[in-house]
A and B are shown apart, each in its own frame.
Chain A
Amino acid sequence: MKLPLMVAALALSALMPAAHAANLQANGDPLDSARWQDMEKTFLAGHPFIFDPRVKVTGPADAENPLQVPITVDAIALGKVEEVVVFADFNPIVQILRFFPGDAAAYLGFRVKLQQSTPVRAAVRTTDGIWHVGGTWVNTVGGGCSAPSVGTALPAWQKQLNEVSARQWRDGELAGRLRLRVVHPMDTGLVAGIPAFHLQEIRLTDNKDQLLMRIETFEPVSENPVFTVQQQNAGRVRASGRDNNGNVFSVWID
Chain B
Amino acid sequence: MNKLIGLLLVLFSGVAGAAGPAFDYALQAQRVTDNVYAFTGRNEDFSTVNGGNIVNTGFIVTDRGLLVIDSGPSLRYGQQMRQAMATISNRPILQLFNTHHHPDHFLGNQAFADTPIAALTATQQGIATEGNAFAENLYRMAGDWMQGTEVQAPNTTLKPGKVNIAGRSLRLLALEGHTGGDLAIYDESSGVLFTGDLVFNSRAPTTPHARLKLWLASLDVLEAVTREPGFTALVPGHGAVTRDAAPIRQTRAWLLWLNKSMQEAAAAGLDMNEVLARPVPAEFSGIALGEHEYHRSVGHLFPAAEQEALGHAH
Contacts and interface: CB of A to CB of B under 8 A. Distances in A.
A53 interface: no
Contact of B310 (A58, A65, A111, A165): A165
A151 interface: no
Interface in B168-197: none
A92 interface: no
Contacts of B300: 64-65
Given A60-B295, A64-B295, A165-B307, A251 B273 contact: no
Interface stretch (A75-83, A166-174, A213-221): A166-174
A5 to B, nearest CB: 31
Nearest to A70: B272
A239 interface: yes
B272 A111 contact: yes
Nearest to A176: B269
Contacts of B311: 165-167, 254
Contacts of A167: 269, 309-311
B3 interface: no
Interface in A56-85: 58-60, 62-65, 68, 70-72
A141 interface: yes
Give the interface size bracket for B toward A.
Answer: 20 to 34
A174 B269 contact: yes
Interface in B196-217: none
A61 to B, nearest CB: 9
Interface string B283-310: 0000000000001100110010011011
B140 interface: yes
Interface string B261-283: 00000001111111010000000
B314 A252 contact: yes
A165 B304 CA distance: 13
A70 B296 CA distance: 12
A172 B4 CA distance: 80
B269 A169 contact: yes
Interface string B77-120: 00000000000000000000000000000000000000000000
Contacts of B140: 141
> What is the predominant secondary structure among interface residues of chain B facing chain A?
helix
B57 to A, nearest CB: 26
For B272, B296, B310, B311, the residue with the greatest tally of chain A CB atoms inside 10 Å of its CB is: B272
B273 to A, nearest CB: 5
Interface stretch (A22-30, A38-46, A177-185, A193-201): A177-185
A104 interface: no
Contacts of A228: 269, 271
A50 interface: no
Contacts of A172: 268
A179 B313 contact: no
A126 B270 CA distance: 27
Nearest to A174: B269
Question: What 6 pairs between A and B have smallest CB-CB spacing?
Answer: A70-B272, A109-B271, A165-B310, A251-B313, A228-B271, A169-B269
Interface of B: 137, 140, 268-274, 276, 295-296, 299-300, 303, 306-307, 309-314
Given A71-B273, A174-B268, 19 more contacts: A58-B273, A60-B273, A60-B276, A64-B295, A68-B303, A70-B271, A70-B272, A70-B276, A141-B140, A165-B310, A165-B311, A165-B312, A167-B269, A174-B269, A177-B269, A180-B310, A181-B306, A226-B272, A228-B271
Interface of A: 58-60, 62-65, 68, 70-72, 109, 111, 141, 163-167, 169, 172, 174, 177, 179-181, 226, 228, 239, 251-254
17 contacts: A60-B295, A64-B295, A68-B299, A70-B276, A164-B313, A165-B310, A166-B310, A166-B311, A166-B313, A179-B269, A179-B271, A179-B310, A181-B306, A226-B306, A251-B313, A251-B314, A253-B313
